[in-house]
Amino acid sequence: MADTVTLEIDGQKVDSIFAKPDGDGPFGGVVVTFHRGGIDNFTTWLVDELARQGYCAIAPDHFHWIPPGESIDNRKEFLWDTRLALDLAVARGYLECLPEMDGDRIAILGHCMGGRTTFLGAACDEHYKAACVWYGGGMMQAQGADGPSPFERLGDIACPVMGFFGREDKNPSMEDVDKFDAALTKAGVWHEFHRYDDTGHGFMDPDNPKHYVEASAKDSWSRALVFLNEKIGTSAAAAAE
């Protein structure tokens, strides 16, 4: 089960969730950047499931930037890209310092706003060995005073990317996904996108029955686990020996 750990971010003590496999390792690690629901049942399941799959996993609480009493509906006013990137850097650093971790095998993944943040994090930090993105919207606009947008940063990504999108989604639309594809191709970033028919936004969260699509969720998660194993898991460890 996931535990609460405290990260120090910009002088604040920030509770985040963390889980690790049984045993001594060395393990690969995953930074999980959450969706609009924050650290909810789905995010907790992701962290726990990654630990069951053999990874140390941590989800920093990005909402610590939102002032008390402020609605998360106004989150974009406070979740500046520079702040999100700082959260991710501290979380990655936490993983790297664990004695049971192999600090050279760390990936990042996220859904919805976390998909956007995954693109952002991978572009801002060359340490990641893989990135998995589910239906990341809002890519064309920067958050905070300083640009560029995550879309404009795609060429800075130094790791392979796997993406999962619903063809009925409006944010990102299939036209947006085509733009992501073209930008990554132009930059020479290895990527593989999977698009699901009869599937819209938020299709992987079973706590959101209006949008959950079981077949698309299971297929995308299965593909992501194979990808992670190749890049940061036991297959990657064996290849490095």
- Prediction pTM value: 0.97
Average pLDDT over residues 110-126: 98
pLDDT at 235 over 90: no
Average pLDDT over residues 118-137: 98
Q: What confidence score (pLDDT) does residue 82 get?
A: 96
Q: Do the Cβ atoms of 135 and 202 come closer than 8 Å?
A: yes
pLDDT at 121 over 80: yes
Q: What confidence score (pLDDT) does residue 241 get?
A: 74
β-pairing, 130-134 vs 161-166, is parallel
What lies within 8 Å, CB to CB, of 93 at 6+ separation is: none
pLDDT at 240 over 90: no
pLDDT exceeding 70 applies to what percent of the chain? 100
**DSSP 3-state of 34:** coil
Looking at the chain, list the stretches that DSSP marks H as alpha helix, in order from N- to C-terminal side. Answer: 41-52, 81-96, 113-124, 174-187, 214-232, 234-240
Q: What confidence score (pLDDT) does residue 47 get?
A: 98
The domains of the chain are located at: 3-240
- Computed from CA positions of residues 40, 41, 46, 48, in that sequence, does the dihedral angle turn out positive or negative? positive
Average pLDDT over residues 59-79: 93
CATH of domain 3-240: 3.40.50.1820
Cβ atoms < 10 Å from Cβ of 230: 15
Q: What confidence score (pLDDT) does residue 51 get?
A: 98
Q: What confidence score (pLDDT) does residue 1 get?
A: 77
